[in-house]
A and B are shown apart, each in its own frame.
Chain A
Amino acid sequence: MTRPADQPGVPPQTLGLDVQAHLGRQLRAVFDDLARQPVPDRFVQLLDALERKTLPDSPAPATPTDARTAKTGDA
């Protein structure tokens, strides 16, 4: 981990490197824990729905921009 340079307005670094390393490990553990949680199905379904909405639903690939704006209201 890099040490922040001394700067005006930056509080002096008073923590020992072992403490900083310990905090870093704990922080990573907390974040990894959060990131390991299974993603709820609702998000997968939401993305599926968003994808369907932006697809041109007629076989002719009409201007998809219009299709997109026209369909934003139906959610």
Chain B
Amino acid sequence: MTAAPSEAANAAAKAQLLAALPRLRAFALSFCGHPDQADDLVQETLVKAWANLGSFEPGSNMPGWLYTILRNEFYSRLRKRRHEVDDPDGMIAARVATAPAQEAHLHFQDFRRALFRLPPDQREALMLVGANGISYEEAAALCNCAVGTMKSRVNRARNRLAEMLSMQGPGHFQADRAWATVPAVGSVAGTAAV
């Protein structure tokens, strides 16, 4: 244990935690989808982070450190709750209100619903690599897995999303605008290609 933090160090740590909060919360929401659970997760993360500030090296990556605490907490809770029920329709993402046009909003909701149907590890991979532009190497380090595993998760997740949204293959991308009104399966010749 290092020396106890000074008042100034505490204030600095608090400022860093506050700055990291919006994204930390976004990750928590993307993990569990339910606002209450997500906020419990964030709260536990903050408490643990504060209690372990002594083990955080000043100047190193605070968001990454927080993320590691958050995900450990999430997965340990997941292991305890074997009956974890995915509830894509009750998730926060479906209720988030910032979508512009009505049609676009519907597509956006379909996307989010599909996203939350992915297994947590695949969704996490997409959130890190796809949404945040984190390198495979860094994402693998955060998730404590091999780089190849991370690449594999991202690929599987992308393929599954595309499959759920009927946008397989380059030629079918345009259909994405109107899939709700089109008998999608019959027209998607490339389904077997995956």
Q: Do A and B bind each other?
A: yes
Q: Is the CB of B98 within 8 A of A15?
A: no
A55: contacting residue among B10, B50, B130, CB under 8 A: B10
Q: Is the CB of B25 within 8 A of A34?
A: yes
Against B, the Cβ 8 Å flags (1 = close, 0 = not) of A16-53 are 11111011101111110111110110111011101100
Considering the complex, give the chain A residue whose CB is closest to the CB of B151.
A4
Q: Is the CB of B148 within 8 A of A14?
A: no
Q: Is the CB of B159 within 8 A of A14?
A: yes
Q: Is the CB of B130 within 8 A of A14?
A: no
Q: Is the CB of A46 within 8 A of B131?
A: no
Q: Counting CB contacts under 8 A, is B184 at the interface?
A: no
Q: Is the CB of A47 within 8 A of B18?
A: yes
Alpha-carbon gap, A63 to B136, bound state (A): 43
Count B-side interface residues using an 8 Å CB cutoff.
Answer: 58
Q: How large is the interface on A (under 10, 10 to 19, 20 to 34, 35 or more residues)?
A: 35 or more
Alpha-carbon gap, A39 to B17, bound state (A): 12
The verdict on A11 contacting B155 (CB below 8 Å), with A55-B10, A65-B4 known, is yes
Against A, the Cβ 8 Å flags (1 = close, 0 = not) of B5-40 are 101001100100110011101100110000000010
Q: Counting CB contacts under 8 A, is B72 at the interface?
A: no
Alpha-carbon gap, A14 to B5, bound state (A): 52
Q: Counting CB contacts under 8 A, is B158 at the interface?
A: yes
The verdict on A23 contacting B162 (CB below 8 Å), with A30-B112, A72-B51 known, is yes
Q: Is the CB of B96 within 8 A of A27?
A: no
Chain A residues near B93: list those with CB within 8 A: 30, 33-34
Alpha-carbon gap, A16 to B158, bound state (A): 11
Q: Is the CB of A40 within 8 A of B130?
A: no
Q: Counting CB contacts under 8 A, is B115 at the interface?
A: yes
The verdict on A15 contacting B168 (CB below 8 Å), with A7-B152, A34-B29, A46-B47 known, is yes
Q: Counting CB contacts under 8 A, is B194 at the interface?
A: yes
The verdict on A5 contacting B132 (CB below 8 Å), with A33-B98, A35-B23, A43-B46 known, is no
Chain A residues near B127: list those with CB within 8 A: 27, 31
The verdict on A35 contacting B25 (CB below 8 Å), with A10-B152, A15-B168, A27-B127 known, is yes
Chain B residues near A34: list those with CB within 8 A: 25-26, 29-30, 92-93, 96
Which 4 A-B pairs rank lowest in CB-CB distance, beginning with the nearest?
A16-B170, A64-B4, A34-B26, A35-B26
9 residue pairs of the A-B complex, CB under 8 angstroms, read: A27-B115, A31-B30, A33-B96, A34-B26, A47-B17, A47-B18, A50-B46, A51-B10, A65-B4
